[in-house]
Amino acid sequence: MAGTNPTQTGAAATSRNDRTQPRTQKITTFLWFDNNAEEAANFYVSIFKNSKVLNTARYGEAGPGPKGSVMTIGFQLDGQEYTAFRYFVRADSRRRFAKIAKSHEGHDENEEA
């Protein structure tokens, strides 16, 4: 048909449109850090284009972390959102967690952590 512009339909059109339209993010990745969530987020933001820190929540007087230290930090890397968090766990909880992890790896669960 001379003079008409054929259009693609089906999977080819969908694939082309998916590449040009912004995607709605359905899942946010959470990254667990013991001490350096803020430093890690700032580093990631510095090396990826279209990236920025979105928000930061800090511990207050009640803790459990030191007052002013990062509890969570939201950031975006090339349009994808992430949340890094600094998690404080009491020493006895760490030992219990290590014991559970060892038991799942096939170690004797009565073994000392």
Number of domains composing the chain: 1
Contact predicate 42/51, CB 8 Å:
no
Domain that residue 43 falls in: 25-104
| CATH assignment of the domain containing 54 | 3.30.720.100
Contact predicate 91/97, CB 8 Å:
no
For 76-90, the pLDDT digits (tens) are 999 899 999 887 665
60 occurs within a structural domain: yes
Average pLDDT over residues 61-83: 91
**Distant-in-sequence, close-in-space partners of 72: CB < 8 Å, separation ≥ 6:** 37, 55, 56, 57, 83, 84, 85, 86
**Does pTM surpass 0.85?**
no
Q: Where are the alpha helices (DSSP H) in the chain?
A: 11-20, 37-47, 91-104
18 occurs within a structural domain: no
58 occurs within a structural domain: yes
Average pLDDT over residues 36-60: 95
9 occurs within a structural domain: no
Residue 77, classed as helix, strand or coil, is strand
